[in-house]
């Protein structure tokens, strides 16, 4: 008798081929242990939220409006919240009609739905290189092919975007971009380039999907004009995860009217409707609390953490490392000395009780082995300093081993998802 | 199922109840169901796997009526063991302190009965070169090997040592960290040019590399249990990795490897395999449960790859597959091992 376990696996769709167990991802399990300084995750810091006041809002919401909050709602989202979302977007220069806003379960769901609407298997999506790992996951799930366009200190490089549009076939369906305080690269598309990128995409007939979860978290006290503020055809994705609370899973898409109806139907087939309860809580929070001050408080905390990380990088890292100075958001993108493979080095880091996200997870094409992403959003400044100190020791030990073996060229290590899950600290 | 009236002062608190309505959690020492603490997690590279093993084991033990706590190995463990002493501990830790004898030594120190191999034997089995040397000395076959720390390569010059290694072991060869499981850091190296890079990757997991002759053949795993007293071997599980390599992804992605149980080998080989696993279990001083991974080579010889003191218990692990093939419920099996652990403490 021969026993075959889990025969259901034989019936899986081809698009699940990349959804496998991963040696690298498993290593992040230790990030939740207090001994480990995790610079790997992207969890927002909620320490500054007024929990008592929110508890009152939740109690009042259930007591007064429970019959609505606990009921199905509109697939497009509650009208009151969509109006408030337009006020939030106005801070980055966007003038929008609430009718064109679709509320989703986090902007991740909006991204998934937009990809569902635009991409057949084999279609091409352009994305910055590196790019947000959650977007790469969505594109892979719809079997879209990602072609990366490189960035420099001022964001996406327009000439490279043009070159890609000239050469890549089939013609890309859209450009996916995080123009402001990029995840993972930490850079921002300069104001001058914004119009240029939009013009190029318009010229080649390629849609633009702008993902902007960090736009209000700038450290210099100003915002950048959203791409959507310059071009009404941009598909814009927004989120309350970083400005209020990630656990509520409230995000949105602002789309041109021609896209909207299809997006609403796609959303309906995915979830019927976004949760009324969390939408109403966000509405109450925006209406009754000084949420702009809360965002300022968040931003100040993130700036302190960024400063701690930059100081530690200057103090501890060995020669040959380079990094950007982010002016907002959560991340520093670090390039390590030649020969080091950050994915292969991760187990050494875990042994030394520090975790980071290795660079290859942010590329669909295998690049990024010399890069890693460091998050400063969650740990305290003291822990960040200690984490970077440990990372420096890990790099020194890795360089020592590399030197022993003559800096060999490195093959790819491991399979499956390479980046930490959302619940990684 | 539960009768609120019988819960008395604890009513209103979520207290799981057994089928006869008694509160499931009972003070230590009161006659009745056994209390077991399942240890899982830890801070090794295999924490994720261990958490899966622990949850599966805890559910299996609850399923047969035991009162189970699930504890991580952290600063709170000793306090837990003192404040809420279980009848026995079941270790579902993989890698590091859960397999190298450290946790076992602490349990021995505190006088807590536990399922599994004593601390000293754990240390011996955990270190792969040490275990292989013992197996070879006793005449059991294990692929030829060399274990060297990074410092030796650095001091003597890596290229010359690697050349000598390849001369001795041939290609392809297997590289593994000298300690640890789940195939983490393990690689098949097919040509000399790949070897330096593979060494660097392997040394990210441990300071010492175990290089082994690569043996192709039928990959099998034999679980040995002592639930009925004397050690007995469960049917061998044959592993057929879809991609050809039974690496981490193949181990923990359902469907990425096919298991054949019993293995597709003849009866004589199966008998030899069982004997070899039992011999390894006894030779290394293992107790209660172990898993021996081996290859049946082209000549029909059984070559031991490694011996595990804390076999994986996840949904895609080998021990649960073997137990199922033998008609054993995982919960009943481990409950009997718990009984043995408790009895040991009173003899």
Residue B5 pLDDT grade (very low, low, confident, very high; cuts 50, 70, 90): very low
Q: Percent of chain A beyond pLDDT 90?
A: 86
Output the pLDDT for position B251. Answer: 85
Residue B258: helix, strand or coil by DSSP? Answer: strand
| Average pLDDT of the segment spanning B221-239 | 97
Q: What is the mean pLDDT of chain A?
A: 94
Query: Is residue A221 within 8 angstroms of chain B, CB to CB?
Result: no
Residue A366 has pLDDT above 70, yes or no: yes
**Nearest residue on chain A to B240, judged by CA atoms?**
A4
Contacts of B203 in chain A (CB under 8 A): 401
Q: Do B200 and A408 touch (CB under 8 A)?
A: yes
Q: What is the pLDDT of residues B168-179, one digit of tens each?
A: 999 999 999 998
Residue B10 has pLDDT above 60, yes or no: no
Output the pLDDT for position B254. Answer: 83
Output the pLDDT for position A8. Answer: 79
Query: Would you call B195 exposed, middle or buried from its count of C-beta atoms within 10 A (0-12, 13-18, 19+)?
Result: buried
Q: What is the pLDDT of residues A226-259, one digit of tens each?
A: 999 999 999 999 999 999 999 999 999 999 999 9
Contacts of B254 in chain A (CB under 8 A): 5-6, 8-9
Q: How close, in Å, is residue B44 to chain A by CA atoms?
A: 7
| Average pLDDT of the segment spanning A339-347 | 95
How many angstroms separate the CA atoms of B190 and B28, rounded? 56
Q: What is the pLDDT of residues A168-198, one digit of tens each?
A: 999 999 999 999 999 999 999 999 999 999 9
Active site residue B306: yes
Residue B204 has pLDDT above 50, yes or no: yes
Output the pLDDT for position B34. Answer: 92
Residue A198: how many other CB atoms lie within 10 Å: 19
**Nearest residue on chain A to B201, judged by CA atoms?**
A344
What are B118-125's contacts with CB under 8 Å, separation 24+?
B118/B285, B118/B287, B120/B285, B121/B284, B121/B285, B121/B286, B121/B287, B121/B309, B122/B309, B124/B284, B124/B285, B125/B284, B125/B285, B125/B286, B125/B290, B125/B307, B125/B308, B125/B309
How many angstroms separate the CA atoms of B196 and A405, rounded? 5
Query: Would you call A233 exposed, middle or buried from its count of C-beta atoms within 10 A (0-12, 13-18, 19+)?
Result: middle
How many angstroms separate the CA atoms of B31 and B52, rounded? 31
Pairwise pLDDT comparison (B26 vs A68), residue with the higher score: A68
Output the pLDDT for position B347. Answer: 61
How many angstroms separate the CA atoms of B182 and B310, rounded? 11
Residue B336 pLDDT grade (very low, low, confident, very high; cuts 50, 70, 90): very high
Output the pLDDT for position B1. Answer: 35
CB A277 within 8 A of CB A61: yes
Output the pLDDT for position B32. Answer: 59
Query: Is residue A33 within 8 angstroms of chain B, CB to CB?
Result: yes
Residue B267 pLDDT grade (very low, low, confident, very high; cuts 50, 70, 90): very high
Bridge partners, residue B38, by sequence: B70, B90
Q: What single DSSP character describes residue B261?
A: S
CB B344 within 8 A of CB B118: no
Q: Do A406 and B159 touch (CB under 8 A)?
A: yes
Q: What is the pLDDT of residues A71-118, one digit of tens each?
A: 999 999 999 999 999 999 999 999 999 999 999 999 999 999 999 999
Element of type H or E holding A11:
none
Chains A–B, number of C-beta pairs less than 8 Å apart: 127
Residue A51 pLDDT grade (very low, low, confident, very high; cuts 50, 70, 90): very high
Q: Tally DSSP H helices, then E strands, for chain B.
A: 13, 14
Using omega within 30 degrees of 0 as the cis cutoff, is the peptide bond preceding B172 cis? yes
Portion 214-273 of B in contact with A at CB < 8 A? 247-249, 251-256, 258-262, 264
How many angstroms separate the CA atoms of A197 and A178, rounded? 12
| Average pLDDT of the segment spanning A250-278 | 97
Residue B330 pLDDT grade (very low, low, confident, very high; cuts 50, 70, 90): very high
| Average pLDDT of the segment spanning A285-304 | 96
Q: Closest Cα to residue A48, out of A392, A289, A312?
A: A289
Q: Percent of chain B beyond pLDDT 90?
A: 81
Nearest to B199 among A6, A9, A405 (CB): A405
Output the pLDDT for position A179. Answer: 98
Residue A7 pLDDT grade (very low, low, confident, very high; cuts 50, 70, 90): low
C-alpha A104: how far from chain center: 16
Q: How close, in Å, is residue A54 to chain B by CA atoms?
A: 26
Residue B181 pLDDT grade (very low, low, confident, very high; cuts 50, 70, 90): confident
Residue B159 has pLDDT above 60, yes or no: yes
Q: Percent of chain B beyond pLDDT 70?
A: 90
Options B101, B252, B287, B336, the catalytic residue: B252
Task: Report helix, strand and coil shares of chain A as percent, to nearest 5.
Answer: 50, 15, 40
Query: Is residue A14 within 8 angstroms of chain B, CB to CB?
Result: no
Output the pLDDT for position A203. Answer: 98
Tokens 């092919």 sit on residue: A145
How many angstroms separate the CA atoms of A123 and A109, rounded? 20
Residue A288: how many other CB atoms lie within 10 Å: 12
Q: What is the pLDDT of residues B269-297, one digit of tens each?
A: 999 999 999 999 999 999 999 999 999 99
How many angstroms separate the CA atoms of A195 and A210, rounded? 13
Contacts of B321 in chain A (CB under 8 A): 3, 5
Contacts of A411 in chain B (CB under 8 A): 194, 197-198
| Average pLDDT of the segment spanning A293-310 | 96
Bridge partners, residue A129, by sequence: A150
Strands (E), chain B: 35-39, 67-71, 88-91, 114-115, 145-149, 173-177, 187-189, 208-213, 217-225, 232-233, 237-241, 257-260, 289-297, 302-308
CB B221 within 8 A of CB B270: no
CB B132 within 8 A of CB A383: no
Nearest to A29 among B48, B150, B205 (CB): B48
């Amino acid at each position: 008798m021969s026993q075959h376990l889990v025969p259901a696996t034989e019936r899986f769709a081809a698009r699940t081929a990349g959804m496998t167990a991963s040696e690298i991802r498993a290593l992040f399990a230790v990030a939740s242990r207090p001994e480990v300084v995790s610079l790997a995750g992207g969890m927002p810091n909620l320490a500054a939220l007024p929990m008592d006041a929110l508890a009152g809002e939740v109690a009042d919401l259930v007591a007064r409006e429970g019959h609505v909050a606990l009921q199905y709602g509109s697939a497009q989202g509650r009208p009151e919240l969509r109006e408030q979302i337009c006020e939030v977007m106005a801070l980055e220069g966007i003038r929008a009609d609430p009718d064109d806003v679709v509320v989703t379960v986090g902007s991740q769901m909006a991204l998934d739905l937009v990809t569902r609407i635009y991409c057949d298997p084999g279609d091409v999506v352009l994305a910055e290189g590196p790019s947000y790992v959650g977007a790469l996951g969505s594109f892979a799930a719809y079997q879209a092919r990602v072609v990366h366009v490189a960035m420099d200190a001022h964001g996406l490089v327009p000439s490279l975007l043009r070159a890609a549009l000239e050469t890549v076939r089939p013609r890309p369906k859209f450009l996916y971009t995080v123009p402001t305080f990029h995840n993972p690269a930490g850079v921002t598309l300069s104001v001058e380039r914004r119009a240029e990128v939009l013009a190029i995409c318009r010229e080649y007939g390629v849609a633009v999907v702008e993902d902007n979860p960090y736009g209000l978290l700038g450290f210099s006290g100003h915002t950048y004009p959203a791409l959507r503020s310059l071009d009404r055809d941009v598909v814009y994705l927004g989120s309350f995860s970083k400005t209020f609370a990630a656990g509520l899973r409230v995000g949105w898409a602002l789309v041109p009217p021609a896209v909207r109806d299809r997006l609403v139907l796609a959303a309906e087939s995915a979830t019927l409707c976004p949760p009324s309860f969390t939408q109403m809580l966000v509405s109450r929070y925006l209406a009754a609390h000084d949420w702009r001050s809360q965002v300022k408080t968040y931003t100040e905390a993130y700036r302190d953490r960024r400063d701690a990380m930059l100081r530690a990088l200057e103090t501890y890292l060995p020669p040959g490392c380079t990094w950007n100075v982010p002016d907002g958001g959560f991340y520093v993108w670090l390039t390590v000395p030649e020969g080091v493979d950050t994915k292969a080095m991760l187990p050494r880091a875990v042994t030394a009780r520090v975790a980071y996200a290795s660079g290859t997870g942010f590329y669909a094409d295998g690049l990024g082995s010399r890069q890693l992403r460091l998050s400063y959003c969650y740990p305290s400044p003291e822990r960040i300093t200690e984490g970077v100190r440990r990372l420096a020791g890990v790099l020194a030990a890795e360089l020592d081993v590399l030197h022993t073996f003559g800096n060999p060229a490195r093959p790819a290590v491991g399979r499956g998802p390479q980046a930490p899950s959302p619940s990684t600290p | 199922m539960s009768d609120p009236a019988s819960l008395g002062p604890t009513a209103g608190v979520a207290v799981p109840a057994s089928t006869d309505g008694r509160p499931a959690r009972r003070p230590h020492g009161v006659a009745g169901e056994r209390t077991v603490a399942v240890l899982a997690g830890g801070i090794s590279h295999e924490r994720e796997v261990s958490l899966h093993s622990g949850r599966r084991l805890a559910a299996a033990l609850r399923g047969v009526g035991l009162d189970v706590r699930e504890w991580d190995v952290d600063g709170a463990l000793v306090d837990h063991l003192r404040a809420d002493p279980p009848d026995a501990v079941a270790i579902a830790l993989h890698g590091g302190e859960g397999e190298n004898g450290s946790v076992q030594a602490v349990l021995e120190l505190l006088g807590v009965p536990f399922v599994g191999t004593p601390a000293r034997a754990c240390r011996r089995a955990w270190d792969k070169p040490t275990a292989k040397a013992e197996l070879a000395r006793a005449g059991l076959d294990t692929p030829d090997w060399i274990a060297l720390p990074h410092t030796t390569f650095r001091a003597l010059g890596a290229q010359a040592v690697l050349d000598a290694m390849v001369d001795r072991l041939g290609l392809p060869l297997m590289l593994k960290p000298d300690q640890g499981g789940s195939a983490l850091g393990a690689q098949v190296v097919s040509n000399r040019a790949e070897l330096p890079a593979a060494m660097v990757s392997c040394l990210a997991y441990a300071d010492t590399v175990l290089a082994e002759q690569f043996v192709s053949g039928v990959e099998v795993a034999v679980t040995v249990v002592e639930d009925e007293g004397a050690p007995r071997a469960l049917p061998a599980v044959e592993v057929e990795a879809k991609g050809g390599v039974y690496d981490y992804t193949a181990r923990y992605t359902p469907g990425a490897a096919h298991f054949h149980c019993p293995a597709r080998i003849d009866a004589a080989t199966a008998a030899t395999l069982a004997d070899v696993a039992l011999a390894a279990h006894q030779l290394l001083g293992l107790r209660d449960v172990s898993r021996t991974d081996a290859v049946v080579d082209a000549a029909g010889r059984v070559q031991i790859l490694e011996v595990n003191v804390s076999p994986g218990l996840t949904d895609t692990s080998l021990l649960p597959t073997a137990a199922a093939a033998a008609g054993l419920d995982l919960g009943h099996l481990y409950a009997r091992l718990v009984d043995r652990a408790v009895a040991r403490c009173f003899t």
